[in-house]
Structure 1
Amino acid sequence: MKAFLSLLLLGLVSLVQALSSTGNRLLVVIEEAADKSKYSSFFGDLESRGYSITYESPKSKTLSLFKHGNLAYDHLVLLPPKSKGFGPQLTPNILVDYVNNNGNVLLALTADQPIPAAVASLLLEFDVTLPPERSALVVDHINYDSNSAADKHDVLLIPAPKTLKTGVKNYFDVDGILAVPRAVGQLLGNDSPLLAPVLRAPETAYSYNPKEEEALEDVFASGSQLSLVSTFQARNSARFTILGSAEMLQDAWFNAQVKAPRAPEATSTANKAFAERLSAWTFQEIGVLKVGKVQHYLNEGKVKESTNLTVSEFPEINPIMYRIKNDVHFSIELSEYNGDRWIPFLPAAGDSLQLEFSMLSPFHRLTLEPVSPTTNSTIFSTSFTVPDQHGIFNFIVNYKRPFLSNVYEKRTVTVRHFAHDEWPRSFVISGAYPWIAGIGVTATGWLIFVAVWLYSKPDESKAKKTQ
């Protein structure tokens, strides 16, 4: 009976616990309460995944992201405001501070109303630039929905995101086509390794201001320069997602029927599945890494030759000192969160986990091979010889990839010279044989000379003449 009650309690806890690895407190900032019905499917999906959702207006006087110096909410959804901004409680400085304190943000934009200057200033903090015309939107005269945008061409039809580049995992791939209505294009800075585009505009798309009637001569950006969905992952692994089209989250576009101009028939959109994947990544349900045991030890003698060692025979784990030219073994345990549990982590094809053994600069940069998967983790390891250089060295695993939380592990050790009784004796060094032979010949010659000197008798006739 007790076992049954324990299982029942565990099941109830799992039902109310959010899938996020960082918490279930979610704040949705929406200006008009009546607009909640437009996103009912999206919010319902979040609630079914265990999130405790609080709805607030940016005009609310009780709105605050912090309580007693700590985060009041683990995650934040900002839907497009109809006023000039999000109010005094959601200024760019406060939102940046929220991200710096490990808060995750999903910011949705729309071209249906001008982008507030405060939002543009906020995105500049993340090296993301919006069009100078606050009413600009992205259009495409080739890839558009002929059912809903036959004239304006402002509802783009785009295939699901593909892998960003070789060696990067794709967490946003869905089956079907995405409808992107009235999107605001973003221009990402080239110098920031923290930015990554999720969904780029087609090559035939461009950004323009529909309020300008003059001929379009100079566009803000076009083609793949425009990012429609962008992500920013801070160094503390907090996530900030910019969704260029808030309408993608609305019920009207979840599984809507769309038709490209040259398509034979209409198809359903994959917006619902994409919204689920995008929110799951933003709220750290997927793409989250955890470090388990980090070990290094001396890999010589019996340790290197045999695996069946007793506790007393096994070397010290994580010693603080090594000697030059020691053989060392290093291992690290990594897990990946897949939405409900921790599983063994494996890098994407074409990628690898690396170890640096460095002082001021790396003396070794080695690939860590997966050698021993467990139920919820993978153990990566490698072996190497300590360089012939004494000093303070660091074992460093610095693994930073798009869409994966950052891994940075550092262990410091001292590397010393040989002790006076650890140097190899000259009689085991082949290069010393000529010198040893020279010493032997010299000593033997000296002994022979002494013996001849002591035991040789002087000539008697010469001695008498001298007298």
Structure 2
Amino acid sequence: MIKYGELALHTGFGGSIDQQTILDFVDSGHNVLMGVSSEASEAIRNLAAEFGVDLDDKGTKVFDHFNYAAKADGTVDHTLLATRDLVDAPVITGGPYKKPILFRGAAATVPADSELATVVLSAPATAYSHDPKKAMLEPPSLMAGGAISLVTAVQARNNARMVVAGSVEMFTNEFFSMKVNVGGESTGSANRKFTVALARWAFQDRGVLVASHLRHHKLGEAAQPAGYRVNDEVEFLVDIHEVEAGASKPYAADDVQLEFIMLNPYIRVPLTHDGQGTYSLRFKVPDVYGVFKYYIDYSHRGYSYIKLTHQVPVRPFKHNEYERFLVCAYPYYASAVSMMGGFFALGFFFLYHK
């Protein structure tokens, strides 16, 4: 199924669609939601690898002999996992949930140093990935426990979003309405709420930040100047709003930082917000002249990135802007005056006294 602006992949590619076409689709700022299974084709696996998600070998499934869900009719399936191991990012997951999330499918891994990928749903510590048609000669090491990613979210640097889910069944009506026994208790699943929240995030229906109305001025003035003088008192302001379901609301966070940079940051201070979406900071311009720039590089898990830059020149004092008399120079002023007074006294005494 392909929709304009979004792309949902199920099994393989068809027609004129190939891996490079989909990568170009993402590079242009669009989004991809992939639901894969244990029998996913190599094309799907290669595409997931391009997103930084490594799926386990074809035919492998995730097993768990402790945290599995038994169906209401008593059928036991150790590949039917019941997990609540969600990432602490409600904007992505919509959680937390009291009911478990049911999963049956393939395992994946994400590099620990990945800056763009987030493991949204991880496997329990007792889970492992294995091909049931093959003998297990040694315990699995890489595809075991919390190292297994069941659902992975990736946000590219251009804010395009990709979700790789190792199970297609978790999106089905069967899993939405399934009643299972977990730990001796009968319960339903949270799959409907979880998958809807996940899809909304993937297609940028939530977690989108928009920065606008960047302005700055000297304290006591309203107009934005073309440049500043060293040691000027300055106020910087920017509006940040969160867009969800097409509606905009003020975004409130305490970790948005402003940098005032010339090669290196001279100032790096958190911005304060008024609860209405306006972030501001008052500071003194450094006693260094040159071309500076305001710089905001904000990335919070689950939200779109914000990168703002704005250049402003900083000049030194003009020759007529320096103070005429400096307090710290009073000893030198006194020494000069005393020297002149001594010279006139000595000259007067020499000329008019024998």
TM-score computed with the length of structure 2 as normaliser: 0.93
Q: Deviations along 1:334-371, whole A, 9 cap, x unmatched?
A: 00012241001012xxx511001111111111010112
| 3-state SS in 1 of match to 2:26 | helix
Q: Deviations along 1:18-51, whole A, 9 cap, x unmatched?
A: xxxxxxxxxx25xxxxxxxxxxxxxxxxxxxxxx
In the alignment, which residue of structure 1 is the partner of 2:233?
327
Structure 1 pair 226–160 and aligned structure 2 pair: CA distance change class (3 A): closer
Measure, in 2, the Cα distance between the counterparts of 1:169 and 1:152. Answer: 31
Letter in 1 for 2:80: V
In the alignment, which residue of structure 1 is the partner of 2:342?
445
Measure, in 2, the Cα distance between the counterparts of 1:170 and 1:276. Answer: 10
Measure, in 1, the Cα distance between the counterparts of 2:169 and 2:304. Answer: 28
In the alignment, which residue of structure 1 is the partner of 2:213?
293
Structure 1 pair 241–457 and aligned structure 2 pair: CA distance change class (3 A): closer
Q: Deviations along 1:47-85, whole A, 9 cap, x unmatched?
A: xxxxxxx5xxxxxxxxxxxxxxxxxx1111112x2xxx3
- Structure 1, unmatched stretches of 5+, are 1-27, 30-53, 55-72, 304-313, 459-467
Larger relative strand fraction? 2
Q: Deviations along 1:305-337, whole A, 9 cap, x unmatched?
A: xxxxxxxxx3421x3311111111111110001
CA shift for structure 1 position 457: 6.1
Q: Confirm whether residue 109 of structure 1 aligns to residue 36 of structure 2.
A: yes
CA shift for structure 1 position 94: 1.1
Measure, in 1, the Cα distance between the counterparts of 2:103 and 2:87. Answer: 20
Q: How does 1:22-421 map to 2 (within 5 A)?
A: 28-29=1-2, 73-79=4-10, 81=11, 85-87=12-14, 89-111=16-38, 114-131=39-56, 133-147=57-71, 150-159=75-84, 161-163=86-88, 171-260=93-182, 262-264=183-185, 266-299=186-219, 303=220, 314-317=221-224, 319-347=225-253, 352-371=255-274, 373-374=275-276, 378-421=277-320
Amino-acid identity (%): 30
CA shift for structure 1 position 211: 1.5
Letter in 2 for 1:144: Y
In the alignment, which residue of structure 2 is the partner of 1:38?
none
| Higher-Rg member (1/2) | 1
CA shift for structure 1 position 215: 4.2
Letter in 2 for 1:356: E
Q: Deviations along 1:88-133, whole A, 9 cap, x unmatched?
A: 533221111101101111000112xx221111211221221111x2
Q: Deviations along 1:267-326, whole A, 9 cap, x unmatched?
A: 111111111101110111110001121111112xxx1xxxxxxxxxx3421x33111111
Measure, in 2, the Cα distance between the counterparts of 1:451 and 1:87. Answer: 109
Measure, in 1, the Cα distance between the counterparts of 2:96 and 2:281. Answer: 37
| 3-state SS in 1 of match to 2:258 | strand
| 3-state SS in 1 of match to 2:69 | coil
Q: Deviations along 1:223-278, whole A, 9 cap, x unmatched?
A: 11111110110111110001111111111111311111x323x1111111111101
